[in-house]
């Protein structure tokens, strides 16, 4: 086993992790980045449509206040408004940091950063680089990491956070390149491991999005919040089967794309006549779902998204990735024909509950969170463009806070017995047993069927029973082959996170007996601000059982009428 030591350990090299590492280093801390992929090959790279900042370049009447209002109102008031305030106020500065690192955003004729409209926004405020915004951001961030000579260990799958009574003291993982183990001692740890879309059969997320961040933090005592709030993006590819779930960016609708059912009707007129295609994602996703369920979908179980009425040159210029994606995967020219689309599991608004002042876990010392791992910013419905801003705003804050916490001469000790136990657990997976892939497949199917866009109590109870049974199967699973680059082993390791995250989603969804944001209960179809103006928290309780409770929402500025009365 290799042992390393650092002031600040950043786990995850997506937008949030890289930004946290840069800031920790800037604050003078010795910083190490660990990630299961090579530097910067993260979910963030796939982000397409853009980054929200109220710059007012396209519409001078836009303001920080409008950004705040849109985020809270469209988040169904579930957001921690202290975090929203930070997001909207700091997003503009952080985009200029990206420019300083080398990112080149598209420009207006006057040379300012260009902005496009996105769903649920009162003003066009999404800054972009065509439909490849995340890629440009990651290129700039990795350049800055290299320029600073920051230490990074790539292809390390973290399997456990190490803890002592004062909090998190580092992490343990598998070095994929050697098959050996690595333990890192750290004075402070930033967790930025992204989302958990892989718990659903149809998802826009990459293979690494197995929810490890939520699970690792939960295991050492962190509190999770609003895990029922899973965003289903309205438009994922449906065809061919191998491309199912791949994102069709909201920028298509931002650039004028129209949704039509199989009868050719622009059905959003019936569901949201004012905002139409640019309604919040939860509204558009449920509308598409309803059209398909009620028989007005295409034979492939989809609706049409059409941008072919726009000038082909403009489509090529503004949506180059979409043009290429459909040409390559579906042999379809989107400048001439409509795309077929249906909802796809996309984003986790819930996550680890943090203290707004420093991004620290509310319950675990020395553990800081950033990006999709943290809860509270987006409430019940993330606005397109707010997640990329979140990675930069809260990445920088987490990095700075972690560096501050690490400004002590005392390096925590590692518990050798705990390291040996983890090593033995991982070694013991090599045995005869059911293939982990089969259990993973069944879990993803179960979550899609019972815990999807529309939920009800009976389905959720069946899902919980199903998860318990899959948990039993996972304990008897076996991995074959060796330790070098063995995807079956990684599946077995991550299955634990996937099951834990799934259980947290289901328990939270069962507890919230109303419909709010992305969480829609057909047996409680209305939002109930009187009784359910609360966040749902999940924690490891006595005897290691998962417990769900509620606490009042942090509504410091805006409240819906009658809330909590």
User: Which residues of the chain form contacts with ligand FAD (CB under 6 A)?
Assistant: 11-17, 34-37, 42-44, 46-50, 133-134, 156-158, 192-194, 204-205, 208, 212, 247, 347, 371-372, 384-388, 391
In the complex, what is the shortest distance from the CB of residue 217 to ligand FAD, in angstroms, rounded to a whole number? 12
133 or 537: CB nearest ligand FAD: 133
Q: Which residues contact 457 (CB under 8 A, 6 or more apart)?
A: 510, 521, 523
Catalytic residue among 253, 286, 347, 382: 253
Nearer to ligand FAD, 12 or 92 (CB): 12
Angle (CA) 525-529-534 rounded to 5° is 100
3-state secondary structure 134-179: HHHHHHHHHHHHHHCCCEEECCEEEEEEEEECCEEEEEEEEECCCC
Nearer to ligand FAD, 371 or 412 (CB): 371
What whole-number distance in Å separates Cα of residue 540 and Cα of residue 217? 11
Query: What's the rounded Cα separation, in Å, for the pair 38 and 22?
Result: 17
Which contacts (CB < 8 Å, 24+ apart) does range 97-103 have? 97/392, 97/396, 98/137, 98/140, 98/141, 98/392, 101/22, 101/140, 101/141, 101/143, 101/144, 102/139, 102/140, 102/143, 102/144, 103/129, 103/136, 103/137, 103/139, 103/140
Say how many C-beta atoms besides its own lie within 10 A of residue 309's C-beta: 10
Closest CB to ligand FAD among residues 370, 548: 370
Residue environment code for 282-303, b if the CB has 16+ CB neighbours within 10 A, otherwise e: bbbbbbbbbbbeeeebbeeebb
Nearest approach, Cβ of residue 185 and ligand FAD (Å): 17
| Residue 367 or 464 with smaller CB distance to ligand FAD | 367
* Cβ at position 289, least distance to ligand FAD in Å: 19
Which residue, 27 or 389, has its beta carbon nearer to ligand FAD? 389
Between 56 and 385, name the residue whose CB sits nearer to ligand FAD.
385
In the complex, the smallest distance separating the C-beta of residue 512 from ligand FAD, rounded to whole angstroms, is 22
**Measuring CA to CA, which residue among 151, 160, 171, 153 is closest to residue 414?**
171
Whole-number Å distance between alpha carbons of 120 and 274: 11
Closest to ligand FAD by CB, 135 vs 286, is 135
Annotation says 233 is catalytic: yes
Of 197 and 356, which CB lies nearer to ligand FAD in the complex structure?
197
Active-site choice (233, 378, 397, 527): 233
Phi then psi dihedrals of residue 518, to 5 deg: -75, -10
Instruction: Spell out the alpha helix ranges (H) of 168-319.
Output: 212-219, 251-254, 268-271, 281-293, 312-318
Minimum distance from CB of 347 to ligand FAD (Å)? 6
Q: Which of 89, 155, 171 is nearest to 412 (CA)?
A: 171
Q: Residue 254 Cβ, how far from ligand FAD at the closest point, in Å?
A: 10
Cα distances (angstroms) measured from residue 406 to each of 53, 365, 394, 402: 31, 12, 18, 6
Give one DSSP letter per residue of 360-426, joined into a string: EESSSTTEEE-GGGB-SSSTTSPPTTHHHHHHHHHHHHHHHHHHHHT-SSPPPPP-HHHHHHHHHHH
Residues whose CB is less than 8 angstroms from the CB of residue 212 and which lie 6 or more positions away in sequence, other chains included: 158, 193, 494, 497
Nearest CA to 118 out of 178, 61, 166, 51 is that of 51
User: What is the closest distance, in whole angstroms, from the C-beta atom of residue 378 to ligand FAD in the complex?
Assistant: 9
Min CB(352)–ligand FAD separation in Å: 12
In the bound complex, what is the minimum distance in angstroms from residue 158's beta carbon to ligand FAD? 4
Q: For residues 401 and 422, what is the distance between their CA atoms, to the nearest angstrom? A: 29
- Active site amino acids: 233, 253
């Amino acid at each position: 086993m290799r042992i390393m030591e650092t002031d600040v350990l950043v786990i995850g090299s997506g937008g949030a992790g890289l930004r946290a590492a840069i800031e920790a280093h800037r604050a003078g801390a010795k910083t190490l980045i660990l990630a299961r992929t090579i530097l910067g090959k993260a979910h963030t790279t796939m982000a397409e449509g853009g980054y929200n900042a109220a710059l007012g370049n396209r519409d001078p009447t836009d303001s920080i206040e409008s950004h705040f209002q849109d985020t809270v109102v469209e988040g169904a008031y579930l957001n921690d408004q202290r975090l929203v305030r930070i997001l909207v106020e700091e997003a503009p500065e952080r985009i200029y940091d990206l420019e300083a690192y080398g990112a080149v955003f598209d420009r207006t004729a006057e040379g300012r950063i260009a902005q496009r409209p996105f769903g649920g926004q009162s003003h066009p405020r999404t800054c972009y680089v065509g439909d490849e915004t995340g890629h440009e951001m990651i290129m700039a961030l990795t350049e800055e990491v290299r320029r600073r000579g920051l230490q990074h260990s790539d292809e390390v799958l973290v399997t456990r956070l190490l803890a002592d009574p004062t909090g998190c003291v580092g992490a343990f993982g598998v070095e994929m390149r050697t098959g050996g183990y690595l333990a890192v001692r750290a004075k402070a740890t930033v967790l930025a491991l992204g989302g958990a879309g892989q718990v659903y059969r149809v998802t826009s997320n990459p293979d690494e999005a197995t929810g490890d961040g939520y699970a690792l933090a939960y295991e050492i005592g962190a509190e999770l919040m609003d895990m029922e709030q899973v965003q289903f993006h309205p438009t994922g590819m449906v065809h061919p089967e191998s491309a199912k779930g791949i994102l069709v960016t909201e920028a298509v609708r931002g650039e004028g794309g129209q949704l039509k059912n199989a009868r050719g009707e622009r059905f959003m007129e019936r569901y949201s006549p004012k905002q139409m295609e640019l309604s919040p994602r939860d509204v558009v996703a449920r509308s598409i779902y309803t059209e398909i369920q009620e028989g007005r979908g295409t034979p492939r179980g989809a609706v049409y998204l059409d941008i072919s009425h726009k000038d082909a040159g403009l489509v090529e210029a503004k949506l180059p990735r979409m043009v290429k994606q459909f040409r390559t995967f579906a042999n379809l020219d989107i400048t001439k024909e409509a795309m077929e689309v249906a909802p796809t599991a996309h984003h986790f608004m819930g996550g680890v509950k943090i203290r707004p002042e420093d991004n620290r876990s509310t319950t675990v010392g020395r553990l800081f969170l950033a990006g999709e791992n943290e809860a509270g910013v987006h409430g019940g419905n993330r606005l397109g463009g707010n997640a990329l801003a979140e990675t930069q705003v809260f990445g920088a804050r987490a990095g700075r806070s972690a560096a501050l916490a690490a400004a002590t001469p005392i390096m925590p000790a590692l518990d050798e017995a705990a390291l040996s136990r983890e090593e033995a657990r991982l070694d013991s997976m090599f045995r005869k047993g059911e293939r982990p892939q089969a259990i993973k497949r069944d879990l993803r199917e179960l979550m899609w069927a019972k815990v999807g866009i529309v939920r009800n109590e009976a389905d959720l109870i069946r899902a919980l029973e199903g998860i318990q049974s899959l948990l039993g199967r996972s304990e008897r699973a076996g991995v074959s082959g060796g330790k070098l680059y063995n995807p079956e082993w990684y599946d077995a390791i991550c299955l634990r996170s996937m099951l834990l995250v799934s259980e947290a989603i289901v328990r939270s969804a069962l507890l919230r007996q109303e419909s709010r944001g992305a969480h829609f209960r057909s047996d409680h179809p209305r939002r109930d601000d009187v009784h359910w103006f609360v966040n749902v928290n999940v924690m490891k309780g006595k005897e290691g059982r998962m417990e769900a409770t509620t606490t009042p929402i942090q509504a410091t500025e805006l409240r819906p009428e009658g809330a909590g009365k």
